Amino acid sequence: MRCIFSSLSRRIFCMLSGSLYIIVFFSTFTYAYYFIFYINFKYYTMRNTLNRRQFLSSAAIIGAAGATGAGSLLTSCSGGSKTQELIPLKPADQLYIPTLTDKAAEGKPLRAGIIGCGGRGSGATMNFLAAADNLTISALCDTFQDKLDNLKGQLKEKKGIEVPDANCFVGFDGFQKLIDCPDVDVVIMATPPVFRPLHFKACVDAGKHCFIEKPIAVDPVGARIILTAAKQAEAKGLCVVTGTQRHHQRSYVEAYKQVQSGLIGELTGANVYWNQNMLWYRTKEAAWTNMEWMIRDWVNWTWLSGDHIVEQHVHNIDVFTWFSGKKPIKAVAFGSRQRRLTGNQYDNFSVDFTYEGGIHVHSMCRQIDGCAGNVSEFIQGSKGSFDSSDMTIRDLAGNILWQYDKETEKQFQQNDPYTLEHVNWITHIRSGQPICQAEETANSCIAAVMGRESAYTGKEVTWDEMMSSTMDLMPAELAMDNSIDPASFKVPVPGSEPKAKA
C-alpha cells in the first residue's frame, strides 16, 4: 500500500514538478525569444543594410526547436533535450531569411520595365503587380513584336494598364532603351539567359533595381560579368533578386532554418534531381530567319539556354549552394542525347560534384517522356537528412524529426513563391535595405556549367578552370538574319575515337 502510495505521490510530484518545469521553461523560452528577437532587431536596424546577410541566428534555432515539437524539447522527468545539442551551421550574421509578408511594404510608387515578354516575363509581370500596392508597368521590350503585343494586351485587359507605344522597344538593342527610359524605376528581366549578363550590367550601370530570372549566366565569361556587376550593385546599394523562387517558398525557408539550426548536423552529401518529360520545341517556319528560329526555339540550343542542366536543373543545384554556402571544386559528368528533335542540347546529365570540404553531390537531370520523374533535393547530414520531396527531416534511423506543416500557410493570403520573391524584392527597395542575390545564383550557374562541360567533353572540370575560362557562348554579332547557321552548332561528343584494332 505504502509502496503504491509512494509510487503515486512520486508520480504526482513528478507531474507537478514537470508542469512547473514546463511553465518555467516556456516563460524562459518566451522571454528568451523576445530577447533574441530584440537583439536581432537592434542588430538589423544598426547595420541599416540587409545586403545578403540579414539575421536569423538564434531565432531560427528557436524556430527549429519549436517546429520539432515540445516533445523533443522536454522528453520526460528523466529525459534530456535533444535540441540543446544543436550546433548551428553558420554564424548568425551569415544567414539571411527573406521577409515573406502577404504584401510588400507600402511606399513610393514603382514603375517596372519588362525585358522579355514571353511566358515567364508575363508571369513575373503579374506576380510583381500582385506583390504590393502602387505598382505599375511602364515599358516593355522584346525581340519580337507579337510577344510584346501579347503582354501589352494582357496588361490592358486584365489590369487596365496601358503601356504607351513610345515605351515599347523591339529588337536586340531594346533593352538599353528600356533601361534608359525615365519612366522606368525598376527592371524585370526574363529573356533567354545568355542575354542576362549584358542586360544586368547595363541595368547596374544605370543604377536601377532589378529582378533577374534564373539562370543568370550560361558560360564563364557571362558569369564573371555578373559577378563584377553584382559587386557594383552592392556598392551602389541596389536591390537585386534572382528568380530562384525556392529561396522565397515558405516550406523551403522553414527547412533552411531547421538545417541551419544544426538539426541534421554537418552537411556530408546530397542528391539533387530534375527529371521530367521533354520540354517544348519549335520547328522552323518559312518566314523566320535563322536567328528568329533559334530564339523562338531557345530551350533547345546551348548558346541560348546553357542546356537544361543550367536552364532548369540550376534550381536544385542552387538549393545545395544555398543550404551549404559551398562551391564545387570539380565535376565529373556524363550525359547524352537520344530523343530531342531540335537544337544541339543533351537529354540527360549525371554529375558527380566534389564540393569544398570533400562533400560529394550527385546531380541528375533528364528531359525525356515516359521515364521516372523527380524534381527535388536530398541533403545528407552527420545526424540526419532533409528530403524536399516530402519536406521532411529524419534522423539517421529514419525517424521523423521535423516535417513542414502546410496547414501553417492558412494564416497567410500569399503563398505563391513566384509572388513572394517580388514581395521581398519590393520590401527591400521601399525600405532602403539593399539585397543582392546575383553572386550566389551566379555560383550555382557556374556549378551547372561545370557539369555541362564535363559531360560534353568527358573531362574533369574544375572551378578554377571556369574562373579563368574564355568560353563565351554569345555570338560576336547579334542580328535577326541568316548570318547565324544553326547547322554549325553540333551536338557535343565526349572523349576520343576508339583506337583502331592493331
Ligand X SMILES: NC(=O)c1ccc[n+]([C@@H]2O[C@H](COP(=O)([O-])OP(=O)(O)OC[C@H]3O[C@@H](n4cnc5c(N)ncnc54)[C@H](O)[C@@H]3O)[C@@H](O)[C@H]2O)c1
Segment near ligand X (CB under 6 A), from 110-118, 179-187, 249-257, 446-454? 110-118
Closer residue to ligand X in complex, CB, 110/310:
310
Q: How far is the CB of 134 from ligand X (least distance, A)?
A: 25
Closer residue to ligand X in complex, CB, 213/377:
213
Cis amide prior to 498 (ω within 30 degrees): no
Which helix or strand (DSSP H or E) is residue 376 part of? Answer: strand 374-381
Binding mask 319-338 for ligand X (x = CB under 6 A): --------------------
Using CB under 6 A as the binding rule, the residues of this chain from 114 to 173 that contact ligand X are: 115-121, 141-144, 147, 172
Q: How far is the CB of 276 from ligand X (least distance, A)?
A: 13
Closer residue to ligand X in complex, CB, 66/119:
119
Burial of 67 (0-12, 13-18, 19+ CB in 10 A): buried
CA distances from residue 332 to 78, 313, 320, 350, 441 in whole angstroms, order as listed: 50, 16, 17, 9, 21
Q: How far is the CB of 262 from ligand X (least distance, A)?
A: 30
Q: What is the DSSP letter of 265?
A: -
What is the rounded distance in angstroms from the CA atom of residue 452 to the CA atom of residue 333? 7
Q: What is the DSSP letter of 331?
A: E
Closer residue to ligand X in complex, CB, 43/172:
172
Q: How far is the CB of 400 from ligand X (least distance, A)?
A: 29
Please name which of 301, 176, 339 lies closest in space to residue 292, comparing C-alpha atoms.
301
Q: How far is the CB of 191 from ligand X (least distance, A)?
A: 4
Closer residue to ligand X in complex, CB, 254/421:
421
By CB under 6 A, tell whether 311 contacts ligand X: yes
Which helix or strand (DSSP H or E) is residue 210 part of? Answer: strand 209-212
Residue of closest CB approach to ligand X: 118
Closer residue to ligand X in complex, CB, 121/434:
121
Closer residue to ligand X in complex, CB, 208/383:
208
By CB under 6 A, tell whether 353 contacts ligand X: no
Residue 372 near residue 250 (C-beta atoms within 8 A): no
Query: Locate cell 544541339: which residue?
Result: 344
Assign 3-class secondary structure to 462-500. EHHHHHHCCCCCCCCCCCCCCCCCHHHCCCCCCCCCCCC
Residue 377 near residue 316 (C-beta atoms within 8 A): yes
Q: How far is the CB of 436 from ligand X (least distance, A)?
A: 18
Closer residue to ligand X in complex, CB, 85/173:
173
Q: How far is the CB of 111 from ligand X (least distance, A)?
A: 19
Beta strand segments in 404-479, E: 435-436, 461-462
What is the rounded distance in angstroms from the CA atom of residue 48 to the CA atom of residue 35? 20
Q: How far is the CB of 103 from ligand X (least distance, A)?
A: 21
Closer residue to ligand X in complex, CB, 57/276:
276
What is the rounded distance in angstroms from the CA atom of residue 483 to the CA atom of residue 64? 57
Closer residue to ligand X in complex, CB, 54/176:
176
What is the rounded distance in angstroms from the CA atom of residue 145 to the CA atom of residue 169? 9
Closer residue to ligand X in complex, CB, 245/367:
245
Which of 63, 88, 193, 343 touches ligand X (CB under 6 A)?
193
Residue 365 near residue 278 (C-beta atoms within 8 A): no
Using CB under 6 A as the binding rule, the residues of this chain from 223 to 252 that contact ligand X are: 243, 245
Q: How far is the CB of 376 from ligand X (least distance, A)?
A: 15
Segment near ligand X (CB under 6 A), from 125-133, 185-193, 436-444, 482-490? 185-193
Closer residue to ligand X in complex, CB, 14/474:
474
What is the rounded distance in angstroms from the CA atom of residue 334 to the CA atom of residue 486? 24
Residue 140 near residue 213 (C-beta atoms within 8 A): no
Using CB under 6 A as the binding rule, the residues of this chain from 434 to 453 that contact ligand X are: none
Closer residue to ligand X in complex, CB, 100/401:
100
Residue 197 near residue 222 (C-beta atoms within 8 A): yes
What three-state secondary structure class fits 11?
helix
* C-alpha cell at position 318: 542552387
What three-state secondary structure class fits 283?
coil
Using CB under 6 A as the binding rule, the residues of this chain from 278 to 307 that contact ligand X are: 295, 298
Q: How far is the CB of 407 from ligand X (least distance, A)?
A: 25
Beta strand segments in 223-373, E: 239-242, 267-276, 328-336, 348-355, 359-367
Q: How far is the CB of 442 from ligand X (least distance, A)?
A: 14
Which of 98, 192, 384, 434 touches ligand X (CB under 6 A)?
192
Give the pairing type, strands 328-336 and 461-462: antiparallel
Query: Locate cell 515599347: which residue?
Result: 168
Using CB under 6 A as the binding rule, the residues of this chain from 207 to 226 that contact ligand X are: 213-214
By CB under 6 A, tell whether 175 contacts ligand X: yes
Which of 64, 163, 181, 190 touches ligand X (CB under 6 A)?
190
Residues at the site binding ligand X, with contacts judged by CB under 6 A: 115-121, 141-144, 147, 172, 174-175, 190-193, 195, 213-214, 243, 245, 295, 298, 311
